[in-house]
Structure 1
Amino acid sequence: MRRTDRSVALGFHRTRPSHALLEHALSVGITDVDTAFNYQAFDGHRELAMAAGELIHEFTISTKVGYFPVGNSNYHSLRRWILRQAIEQTVDDLGVPPAVILLHNPEQTLKTLHPAQAHDHFADACEELERAVDAGLCGAWGVASWDPAPLAKVLRAGSDCPTPSTLMVRAGLSLTAKQLDAGESLGWELNLDADQRWGMSPFGGSTSNPTWTTTDLSSFLEPEQDHTPVQAAFRLAFELPHCTRLAVGTGNERHLSELCAAIQLEVNLSAVDKYRELITAPG
């Protein structure tokens, strides 16, 4: 895979958008941002639009729908009408149609249903996202899944689901063998190429964990490359599972620059293969 095939998306799950941060992202070559309908207490899209101003047109925006407000909390739904309302509100709040809208953690609803019923619910939701593309409300649609295993089971229950153009799953060294296998298996189940597979949460939610700041990961990289442990872990996340785009949230401009530079690192793929064998070996 060529170095230019990898990209970083600035994520806004825990990070709040600011004009300065978005300007810095552009300055280091980051043109993708990732958000969701429910981020910042369901105000993330408006916050992003206000912070970006005219810069909004410089970014490729991916967002997600699936969680909806109820009182001071939220609930998950795959009902077509509520998905459509959220998608229309997304476009209104952003001021531009997002490039990609992802069905947000569909397993939250699907795992509570019988497989056949779950398949029908998922197919309906996918059809609604396809309609959103046809209506010009977004450029493409996909699926973002925190726990892909239930979704893979649903897909095997039938063959008439529309196929997403993008799959987004957790990535990185924090994954267990089961989690890694589930994300990769779902990509194969959907027959998606590497450039259609995206990763998220490469540090399991925090880079302050000593694992990322003190562990020597040099053996996973080709020799004679300058890097920090955090940069090495970030680059390896592109291989676990194999993906071409990683969403990561940070409000620290220096940290964002370091992560952007890390995509140029060359990986020792044989070492990565050995790591896979090690974590999947019977205990």
Structure 2
Amino acid sequence: MSRIRTAIFPVAGLGTRFLPATKAVPKEMLPVVDKPLIQYAVDEALAAGIETMVFVTGRGKNAIEDYFDIAYELEDTLHSRAKHDILATLEGTRLAPGNVAFVRQQEPLGLGHAVWCARHFIENSPFAVLLADELLWNPESPCLKQMAETQERKGGNVIAVLEVPHEHTNRYGIVSPGTIEGAVTEVRGLVEKPKPADAPSRLAAVGRYILQPEIMALLGTQEKGAGGEIQLTDAMAKLIGVQPFHAQTFVGQRHDCGDKAGYVQANISLALERADLGPVIREYLKTV
């Protein structure tokens, strides 16, 4: 069974929910405490053994490419001033030479289209997809690592899911479940944003996918689904029954950083875990 070596990060979105900040700053570069959202996703991929990172970008996203490059002037200045502790914080921002690629999604045609734009980088092997605005937090056992372990046992395709309130099923791709083994559920169907009355379960896809390369041919048909966009969920649904397909219920904290309230909560939650910030933030929260 091929090990998953490549991860795709669709980062071409406009981030309109965070305007005016995202007029000049990509939403994936918005910081949670002191690291941008995209760094958390890349760290998660690295923890799962991913070697090659492919970023599907759009206009105005050059800051992401610059972020993962060497900042020579900054690093040289810090080194010359013996600011080694600060310099160490930049370690995770430097990806290995040749192990990072950037490709443009020229038109906003949907998540499925963004993934398809990276088709030439997967070398006919299984690959991961991570949506950076979903901050799935479990430093001891990151979400993609949980999924990769399941994929090694089960093969095929694996998606991350969480139970959502019944009234929120119309916001997500929802799993039609089969056999359940602990945190792993057989996927018998996928429904994109069903009305609560029509939802087959409360298991919602939350922005992490391990997919077989055959999905690229399905996405290549450019078939449009909900919202007139090329939906990744629609292509995944066609693999069910053809290849093994399972859902991994994520064990950890989920922060929806595509939502303003979720983003603020993520900052508070992660700050509270920090030894240098937690006590100060905890005392402040008692006053509001």
| Normalised TM-score (structure 2) | 0.29
Q: Structure 1 or 2: larger helix share?
A: 1
| Normalised TM-score (structure 1) | 0.29
Q: Structure 1 or 2: larger strand share?
A: 2
